[in-house]
Amino acid sequence: MTFESKAIRDAFPALCEGAAHFDAPGGSLVPAVVADAVRDALASAVCQRGSNTRAERRTDAIVLAARQAMGDLLGADPAGVIFGRSMTQLTFDLSRTLAKTWRTGDEIVVSRLDHDANIRPWLYAAQRAGVTVRWIEFDPETSEIEVEDVTAQLSERTRLVAITAASNLIGTRPPIPEIAAKVHEAGALIYVDGVHNTPHAFVDVAEMGADFYACSPYKFCGPHLGVLAAAPSLLQTLDPDKLLPSVNTVPERFELGTPAFELYAGTTAAVEFLAGLGGDPAASRRARLEASLAAMGEHEDALRRVIEARLAQHPRVTAHSRAQSRTPTLLFTVEGMEPREVSARLGALDINVPSGNFYALEASRALGLGDAGGVRIGLAPYNSADDVDRLLDALDAIIV
Ligand SMILES: Cc1ncc(COP(=O)(O)O)c(C=O)c1O
Each as own residue / partner, the long-range contacts of residues 368-374 (CB below 8 Å, 24 or more positions apart, any chain) are 368/140, 369/320, 369/333, 372/338, 372/339, 372/340, 373/169, 373/331, 373/339, 374/169, 374/320, 374/331, 374/332, 374/333, 374/339
CA of 86 relative to ligand 1 center, distance in Å: 8
Query: Do the Cβ atoms of 166 and 200 come closer than 8 Å?
Result: yes
Residue located nearest, by CA, to atom 14 of ligand 1? 26
CA of 37 relative to ligand 1 center, distance in Å: 23
CA distance 196 to 149: 21
Residue type, 209: G
Among 120, 195, 267, which is best to mutate for testing ligand 1, by the most ligand atoms less than 8 A from CB?
195
Among 93, 114, 196, which is best to mutate for testing ligand 1, by the most ligand atoms less than 8 A from CB?
196
DSSP run (H or E) holding 344: helix 339-347
User: Tell me: the pLDDT tens digits for 333-364?
Assistant: 999 999 999 999 999 999 999 999 999 999 99
CA of 55 relative to ligand 1 center, distance in Å: 33
Closest CA to 26 of 349, 234, 329: 329
CA distance 136 to 203: 23
Q: Name the stretches of the chain with pLDDT < 70.
A: 1, 4
Give the atom of ligand 1 at the shortest distance from the alpha carbon of 90.
11
pLDDT at residue number 278: 82
CA 338, 343, 345, 348 dihedral sign is negative
Query: Do the Cβ atoms of 122 and 128 come closer than 8 Å?
Result: no
Closest CA to 155 of 118, 116, 109, 191: 109
CA of 392 relative to ligand 1 center, distance in Å: 27
* SS3 state at 118: helix
Q: How far, CA to CA in Å, does 353 sit from each of 227, 329, 344, 373, 390? A: 26, 11, 9, 13, 12
Packing angle between helix 120-129 and helix 87-99, nearest 10 degrees?
A: 20
pTM for this one?
Answer: 0.98
CA of 168 relative to ligand 1 center, distance in Å: 8
CA distance 286 to 78: 13
User: Tell me: the pLDDT tens digits for 17-29?
Assistant: 999 999 999 999 9
